[in-house]
Amino acid sequence: MTLYKQIQIFIALLLIVTLAIVLKINFDNTKDFVRTQLYSNAKNTANSLSMSLSSVTDDEAAMTTIIRAMFDGGYFEEIKLVDSEGTVIDMVSQEPKIEGVPPFFINLVNFENVPAEAQISSGWSIFGTLSVKGHPGLSYIRLWDTFRFLGFSFIAIGIVALGVTAVVLRWIFKPLNAVQKQAEAIENNEFIINEQIPTTPEMKQVVITMNSMVEKSQTIYNREIQALKNYQELLYKDQQTGLYNRKYFIKQLNDFLQSEDENATGDIMIFSFEGLEEAIMEAGHPAMNDFFKACRDVIVAQSEHIANSVPAFMNQKEFGLIVPAIDEEGALKVAKEITKQINQLINNNEQLAEVLQIFCGAAPYKYDENMGNVLSKVDYSITVAKSRESGFVERFKDDGSHVVLGKMEWKNMIEEALENNRFVLTSQAVISGTGELHQEIYVNMVDADGTVQRAGYFMPMVVSLNLANNLDRYVLEKTVEFLTNNTNNTLAINITDMFLNDRASFSWFRKLLVSGKHLSDRLTFEISDSAIKSNLDICLDFAGLIKGLGFTFGVDRFTMSQTSLENLQMLKPNYLKVDCEFLMNAEEGEVSAALKSLQTITESLGIMLIATKIDNDEHKNMLEDNNIKYFQGRGIAGINPLVEKND
């Protein structure tokens, strides 16, 4: 119960007790007054009647007549005449009938009606005693009216008093409510400053202290983000052009080759210069720096519309570009346009036109292909291009040793697999020192020949043919069905960019979550970092839907870029999955300097950190020694068919 309610209840009880006491005192005073008045009237009647009877003591009939006349003309309960020897000479009475007063009130009041007496004299001797008891009816009516008036008045006063108290308490508690909201925000790892400083000294000190604490936390958070950004730029960015460097280029190519989504196929391009030394001697370093920046602008302009593209400055002679999820025609178009524009930059510069040449070598890559083989293909293409004129583009051509399916054949194969349940779910566990956190779901396809194909084989075509939403629905339905029948498993499902962007699928997904709300503690969802960068607003809606229904979600393949870090505070995921290469320097055999900053950021936001692609115990132990608790990768657990987990 809140403090406001406790105080309100206390004040209400205090008010009720006070009003009850006041009501009792007022009622008792009125009761005493009415009883005294009734007795006084009876006494006056007895005195006047006794004087009348004293003159006719020798005539009992006359006395009886006078008594009866007084009784009939007044409002009495009883009049009784008793002689000096105790003999009743006359008595008239009536049973009190009180109209307009509830019986419970009569029983509750228990009004004491005391008779008034007067002596009747006969000469110098006492003839007898006259007893007069007034009728209590009018007294009860007056008491009842008084009780009702006091009761209604006090109820009205109580309601008004409670209303005023509630308003005053809300005004008094307004600063405390603001402090409470700020405390709840701090608990939810949000940085909120209370701008309204209360005037009450105690509350003022609390607000100032909490604001100071929040500001310090925000400062630490911002400092760590900046430190992580600087480290990432130093490690993966070329300082001259601002593009990614060769290290990041190779890392991303390796990730794409192992990915289980549309990025598993694409093209790699290298733009290589000849005559660079002569160009530097002719134009000078400042002019060449400007030239390289112009080349950078060309490459970025031509590739920024391609999702997950990776432009890089490989060395002083080469630019690189990875364009995932692109066909041969699209790749050639991009390569030729970039090469053409860079060649124009050269020709438009008199100092460079005669000495500098540009060539482009391109090669396709596909899922699970050896990275050395991909680089060899592009190197071969560059060699061929350099045997031609400046501005030539050479793309490596496949030798035709493997079967190439047309789009219709792919479409038929995928749709048949969906209809015949030939998509098979597998999973890989995320492990901690205390046990299994969850299993991440992967999907494989059994082709017409019965061969099990991993997602990197068919996902690019699933995306290209706009069948990703169908496959996502299939996986979601199968997962919910599995969890309903197997109560010991906790599963994580990756949601694709296309599914998030499709309004109909999003609506269907909402209905699925509502119907499967009982699985909220055993079903979690993941969205890729690249999807968040491309569709932040949609992902915020997704996060709100997930959390609003009690489910959890995480960010997969988190890259620690500035944009990714800035999005964290808005999204508030439950966990991050980060490639271990971002967390450690494999070449130096030590953890990355970025790890501590990332841990500070995630801990301040209440986010779990999961290291992925752990291939051996050495990497696991190294990260475990630095407070990483959750791990995923081939060195931790393999990808196996989805089966029920034993208790």
Distances (CA, A) of 368 to 17, 339, 530, 611: 82, 29, 21, 21
What's the rounded Cα separation, in Å, for the pair 430 and 374? 31
Residue where the block lists tokens 């995630």: 602
User: What local confidence, expressed as pLDDT, does residue 531 receive?
Assistant: 86
Higher pLDDT, 2 or 632: 632
Query: At residue 113, what are phi and psi to the nearest 5 degrees?
Result: -100, 100
Encode pLDDT of 16-28 as tens digits.
Answer: 888 888 888 887 8
What's the rounded Cα separation, in Å, for the pair 382 and 380? 5
Express as a percent the part of the chain with pLDDT over 70.
Answer: 96
pLDDT at 496 over 70: yes
- Confidence grade of residue 404 (pLDDT, cut at 50, 70, 90): low
User: What local confidence, expressed as pLDDT, does residue 401 receive?
Assistant: 45
Q: Are 490 and 437 contacting, i.e. CB atoms less than 8 angstroms apart?
A: yes
User: What local confidence, expressed as pLDDT, does residue 586 receive?
Assistant: 54
Higher pLDDT, 59 or 426: 426
Mean pLDDT, the chain, whole residue set:
86
Q: Are 612 and 554 contacting, i.e. CB atoms less than 8 angstroms apart?
A: no
User: What local confidence, expressed as pLDDT, does residue 609 receive?
Assistant: 94
pLDDT at 100 over 90: no
Least confident among 110-119, 346-355, 501-510? 110-119
Encode pLDDT of 328-350 as tens digits.
Answer: 899 999 999 999 999 999 999 88
User: What local confidence, expressed as pLDDT, does residue 645 receive?
Assistant: 65
DSSP 579-643: EHHHHEETTTTEE-THHHHHHHHHHHHT-EEEEE---SHHHHHHHHTTT--EE-STTT---EE--
pLDDT at 271 over 70: yes
User: What local confidence, expressed as pLDDT, does residue 403 receive?
Assistant: 46
Mean pLDDT value across residues 51-74: 81
Q: Are 322 and 253 contacting, i.e. CB atoms less than 8 angstroms apart?
A: yes
- Confidence grade of residue 591 (pLDDT, cut at 50, 70, 90): low
> What are the strands of the beta sheet with 318-324, ordered from one edge?
310-315, 318-324, 266-274, 357-365, 393-395
576 token code pair: 């991050």
Mean pLDDT value across residues 232-248: 88
pLDDT at 311 over 70: yes
What's the rounded Cα separation, in Å, for the pair 322 and 309? 5
pLDDT at 488 over 50: yes
Domains delineated in the chain: 3-159 (3.30.450), 240-395 (3.30.70.270), 407-641 (3.20.20.450)
Higher pLDDT, 112 or 324: 324
